[in-house]
Structure 1
Amino acid sequence: MHLRLFALLLIFNISTFAQKKTYSIVQYGALADGKTNNTTAIQKAIDEAEKNGGGIVIVPAGDFVTGVLHLKSNVVLNLALNARLMATTKRSDYGGKKASALIVGNNVHHISITGKGTIDGQAKPLLEDIYRMLNAGTLEDAEWKEYNDWHQMRPAEHNRPHLIDLISCQNIVVKNITIRDGLCWIQDYRGCSDIVIDSITVESNTFLNNDGIDITDSKNVRITNCAVNVADDGICLKSSDASSGCENIYIANCKLRSSASGFKMGTASRGYFKNVKVRNLEIYDTFRSAIAIETVDGGNIENIDIRNVVARNTGNAIFIRLGKRRENVAPGYLRGVYISDVKVEVPAGKPDAGYSWDGPEVRYPHNVFPSSITGIPGHPVEDVTLNNIEIIYEGGALAKRAAFGIDSLEQVPEKIRDYPEFSMFGELPAWGFYTRHAVGITMNNIKLSSQNSDFRTAVIFDDVKKLNMKNVEIGKTESKPVILLNKVSDSSLHKIKTHSPTKDDIRYQ
């Protein structure tokens, strides 16, 4: 279904709800004292609305504590201005071995979460209760004693509740609400279709794995006008089902901050990602990549169109990776990617320093990492076009910190089975762009600059076929050569402007 028509149909569905009966949770015994557990009262209101053919469940202004709630078909959960739906801080309220999400919908349709109110995960006191149970031995967690990242024990993800989980649902609207302070993924839409997420705010830097918006194996999705500030990926598309995937996705006019990546597809990538459009993103203070496109679990990526992205103070601009993590599963393919009108500023320091949960320190000396497009031997990334891209690096590379000569390109590790991220290869011999194992790379109107001296080659292509570069400008550099083409065939380079004082600007080898 065309996304515009789909959006109009959802607007019609919302308007029909306005004619339905309202059910205030207060009428069912809910108390706004910030202490009483109101799960039973709120669930009664939801069930009654569903029983009568649908309606609007009203959470009025006030602080309402709740445990796990199950949404039902044809029901709107509306949080009034100054309403706060507060997650219970007792881990036992979320179930046993696997924590339920706070708000759950399973195989229901025409559901909405709307209003100007807030869903508050109360992460800190809930985490304290999880620690108490783990230390007392009353909560099972095989990973508890193994994790010590960030100098703190990390309960496994299955022991930390999401705030919203919608599974196999259709016709979903989430609009205007604020969601804050979760302990794991904030919201996951899994195996769903026909989703509108509009004008929501997500604020959660309270613990690890705090993805802002996760779309998993879902179709016909529209995410617009959202503000996300989280400790993990901002907006992330995932695929856990090899027979399914993410399809017909539109994301626009969002502001993202992350201690991982701003916009990402992968890392979970068993199925496919196709027909994805992204427009008008503002990304800031982001530890990893502004744009990350990854398939490493056998999934396929194609027909991706990303335009108008401005990122400041982010660890990496563009990261595109085809890998193979699963031993008995063949690599998928990654092809048909168009990225245009992007401006990124990459600092030399840690972009998310000072946030309560920042990304992990890279555990070896390194210089500023370049953007990259990388496949693996025999499985190249295909047909990537970069148009109107400007990346400004702070630079300041030091050979005594880390150095990798261009005469040793074969020593750059493949890391075929590794977790994909911009620093995965270690120190790279390029400061601007590094491309390896690719076919059909087009770079048009590209500008790369380093504000401080960098001894490395600006751009490297290694094992690349069908390379087309036009109107590429590289700022002042001391590198020699400025552009290196190693094992490159069928290349076309026009209007390449460098500011190198040497004549050895472009070298083939």
Structure 2
Amino acid sequence: MKLNYYNLRPLFLLLIILLAACKEKNKKQVEEVVSLDNFAQADSIIASISLPTFPDKTFDITEFGAVNDGATNSSDAFKKAIEACNQAGGGKVFVPSGKFLTGPIHLLDNVNLHLAEGAEVLFSTDKSLYLPVVHTSYEGVELMNYSPLVYAYKKKNIAVTGKGKFNGQANEKNWWPWCGAERYGYKKGEPQQRDDHNLPRLRKMNEEAVPYQERIFGEGHQLRPAFFQPFGCENVLVEGVTFTNAPFWVMHPIKSTNVTVDGVTVRSHGPNNDGCDPEYSKNIHIKNCVFDTGDDCIAIKSGRNDEGRRVNIPSENIVVEDCIMKDGHGGVVMGSEISAGVSNVFVRNCRMDSPELERAIRIKTNTLRGGFVENVYVKNIQVGQVKEAVLKINTYYGIYDKQEGEHIPSIKNIYLEDVEVENGGEYGILIQGREENPVKNVSLKNVHIKGAKTPMLVENSEPIQFKNVTINGEQINAQ
């Protein structure tokens, strides 16, 4: 039998129909797999994070001379207990119930600083105890400055655990006035961080690439220390404790890998009191925490301006889940010190709600900071109330301080899914990109926002993808 095109035409048509059907089915399967794989990647990141482990040895600080009266300086007792624990191969440095006054605490390898229920560590208001200066960072720029209150430098296998409290004793008379704001106790004419010998000098050193060892501040300067700072550390656990009355940023893992923050409470409403700021860090797991802060609840960072570009270590592989965000400038934030970039951020199963919470998800940068933000996945978020916006992407951050340069930010692949908002504030969605490089690939699925005064303000962004999205009861269609 001789075959020709006309004989086979019905078979070709049937084959085309079957291929089209298979393609559509595969497309749907791919979409489902992509959605699943995003958070499968989060689970993979969590599984890869090594938790510290410790020998079953206990070193009670009272056996090293610590006094439970809230007044006697027990700095030496903390130091001796930590050294003994380290020299014995590791274990638990135990702080029993009661009030213990100390200067800065420096952790060593294989040490778990454990606060019993009812224990309160009070950090001295005597600033001379936070000297000599150590290698630290201030707003994304490295320097030699006052020691953080709890500090670990290039250590491995460390932890801060328990049900006790760290009280930084910062207030309108101690540390906070240095920010230069009257509501935090600053009085006109007193020295503050914006004076020429402080931040302006540090900013200039950044621009001129002065080695950090020569950026000496500390005594005679007004740059506040971080509360808990693991610097260049591996396998870090912060679990169960409460931080309050912080001088500056509360938890600041910088250049660190494998960091777990679990069940921690931050209640601190001072200036720049961010809850947790991973910077130049990767493989970070923040879970079961409560953030009630004077600044961003969680702010993911990667260096400021020229320094961030020189260091060039993006913050990546960060999972935030099962947390409660109360007061703060933002729930989960990327920026503003973001010059080395941020990627692979996963946020799920969180509750954000306060009349003093300004945004739920926020990305902030400018053309001095530059940097990139990519692959941000947000799922199953309950928002009670925010002031300004549910999602805010701002590439003009700080322009009133003349923070404009030549480094155009790149922001892409931002996904929100299963988000319920009772009171959306001023804007449901607020995006301000750059004409030179618009925001790309923003996708919202199953997002329902009520009570937004302005549903959306979007500038310099590729079309947002909407699927089952309502704002103020109105269905939002694809742009």
Same topology, TM > 0.5: yes
Q: Given the alignment of the two structures, is residue 438 of structure 1 paired with residue 438 of structure 2, yes or no?
A: no
Check whether the contact 1:141–1:159 (CA below 8 A) recurs between aligned residues.
yes
Q: Is 1:4 the counterpart of 2:46 in the alignment?
A: yes
Alignment of 1:398-413 (within 5 A): none
| 1:320 maps to which of 383, 387, 393 | 393
**1:391 maps to which of 449, 468, 475:** 449
1:253 lines up with 2:338 in the alignment:
no
Is 1:310–2:382 an aligned residue pair?
yes
Counterpart CA distance in 1 for 2:175 and 2:342 is 38
Counterpart residue number, 2:88:
52
RCO higher in 1 or 2 (8 Å CA, sep ≥ 6)? 2
SS at match of 1:438: coil
Q: Residues 468-506 of structure 1, C-alpha deviation per residue, up to 9 Å, x if partnerless?
A: xxxx616xxxxxxxx9xxxxxxxx66xxxxxxxxxxxxx
Whether the 8 Å contact between 2:379 and 2:416 is mirrored in structure 1 is yes
Aligned-residue offset at 1:224:
0.5
Q: Give the 3-state SS of the residue equivalent to 2:337 in structure 1.
A: strand
1:89 partnered with 2:125: yes
The residue aligned with 1:342 is: 419
Residue 464 of structure 2 aligns with an amino acid whose one-letter code is: I
- Distance, in Å, in 2 between the alignment partners of 1:92 and 1:287 is 36
**Residue 293 in structure 1 maps to residue 363 in structure 2:** yes
Root-mean-square deviation (CA, aligned residues, Å) is 3.0
Question: Alpha-carbon deviation of 1:183?
Answer: 2.4
Q: Which residue of 2 aligns with 1:375?
A: 433
Letter of the aligned partner of 2:337 in structure 1?
Answer: A
Summarize deviations over 1:150-186 as a string: whole Å, max 9, x none.
Answer: xxxxxx9953332111111110011111111112111
Match of 2:352 among 278, 283, 286: 283
Q: Which whole-Å CA distance do the structure 1 matches of 2:94 and 2:298 have between them? A: 28
Structure 2 counterpart of 1:224, which letter? K
- Using the alignment, how far apart are the partners of 1:63 and 1:238 within structure 2? 34
Residue 284 of structure 1 and its aligned partner are, at CA, apart by: 1.2
Which residue number in structure 1 is paired with residue 410 of structure 2?
333
- 5 Å-filtered alignment, 1:101-500, equals 101-124=148-171, 127=174, 141-143=193-195, 159-205=223-269, 207-240=270-303, 241-242=308-309, 243-285=312-354, 286-296=356-366, 297-315=369-387, 316-323=389-396, 327-346=404-423, 368-393=426-451, 395=453, 431-449=454-472, 473=475
CA distance in 2, matches of 1:160, 1:71: 20
Give the C-alpha shift of residue 442 in structure 1.
Answer: 0.4
Q: Residue 41 of structure 1 is aligned with which of 72, 77, 101? A: 77
* Cα shift at 1:135: 7.9
Q: Distance in 1 between matches of 2:78 and 2:252?
A: 22
| 2:72 maps to 1:20 | no
Counterpart code for 1:433? M
Give the alignment's TM-score, normalised by structure 1. Answer: 0.70
Cα offsets for 1:173-221 (capped at 9, x unmatched): 111111111121111111100011101111112x211101111111000
Count the aligned residue pairs. 386
Residue range with higher mean Cα deviation, 333-342 or 321-330: 321-330
Structure 1 pair 119–319 and aligned structure 2 pair: CA distance change class (3 A)? same
The 2-side partners of 1:391 and 1:109 are apart by 44
**CA deviation string 1:410-455 (max 9, x = no partner):** xxxxxxxxxxxxxxxxxxxxx10111211242011111118xxxxx
* 2:475 partner letter: E
- Check the 8 A contact 2:288/2:323 in 1, yes or no: yes
* 1:347-381 deviations in Å (ceiling 9; x for gaps): 76xxxxxxxxxxxxxxxxxxx34521221112100
For 1:141 and 1:449, the matched residues in 2 are separated by 43
CA apart distance, 1:252: 0.2
Matches within 5 A, 1:75-86: 75-86=111-122
Q: CA deviation at 1:94?
A: 2.1
C-alpha contact (below 8 Å) 1:55/1:76 kept by paired residues:
yes
Cα distance change, pair 391–20 in 1 and its aligned pair in 2 (3 A): same
Taking the aligned partners of 2:323 and 2:428, their CA distance within structure 1 comes to 25
Is the helix fraction higher in 1 or 2? 2
Contact map agreement 1:99 1:158 (CA 8 A) in 2: no
What is the alpha-carbon distance in structure 1 between the residues aligned to residue 188 and residue 57 of structure 2? 47
Shift of the alpha carbon at 1:321? 2.7
2: distance between equivalents of 1:174 and 1:310?
25
Which letter does structure 1 place at the counterpart of 2:448? E
Residues 55 and 146 of structure 1: is their aligned pair in 2 closer, same or farther, counting only changes over 3 Å? closer
Question: Is the contact made by 2:447 and 2:469 (CA closer than 8 Å) also made in structure 1?
Answer: yes
Equivalent residue letter for 2:332: F
Q: Offset of 1:263 from its aligned partner?
A: 1.2
**Aligned to 2:67, which of 24, 31, 38?**
31
- Maintained 8 Å contact 2:317/2:343: yes
For the Cα contact (< 8 Å) 2:408–2:434, is it kept in 1? no
Unaligned runs of 5+ in 2: 1-40, 134-143, 179-184, 200-219
CA distance in 1, matches of 2:405, 2:434: 16
CA distance in 2, matches of 1:125, 1:383: 44
Asked if 2 retains the 8 angstrom alpha-carbon contact of 1:269 and 1:299, the reply is yes
SS of residue in 2 equivalent to 1:311: strand
Letter in 1 for 2:248: C
Secondary structure of the 2:408 match is coil
| Contact 2:353/2:384, CA 8 A, preserved across alignment | yes
The alpha-carbon deviation at position 343 of structure 1 amounts to 1.7
> What amino acid is aligned across from residue 81 of structure 1 in structure 2?
E
- Is residue 2:101 matched to residue 1:65? yes
TM-score, with length taken from structure 2:
0.74
Q: Is the 8 A contact 2:86 2:110 kept in 1?
A: yes
Whole-angstrom distance in 1 between the partners of 2:167 and 2:105: 14
Do the aligned residues in 1 keep the contact of 2:424 with 2:449 (CA within 8 Å)? no
SS in 1 for 2:246: coil
Distance 1:129 1:342 in 2: 36
Matched residue of 1:269: which SS? coil
Distance 1:5 1:393 in 2: 39
Q: Give me the whole-angstrom Cα distance separating, in 2, the residues matched to 1:342 and 1:129.
A: 36
1:44 aligns to what SS in structure 2?
Answer: helix
Distance 1:264 1:128, change over 3 A: closer
**Partners of 2:161 and 2:241 within 8 A in 1:** yes
- CA distance 1:146–1:116, shift in 2 (3 Å): closer
Instruction: Give how far 1:125 is off.
Output: 7.1
Following superposition, the deviation at residue 86 of structure 1 comes to 0.8
Q: Partners of 1:157 and 1:254 in 2: how far apart? A: 36
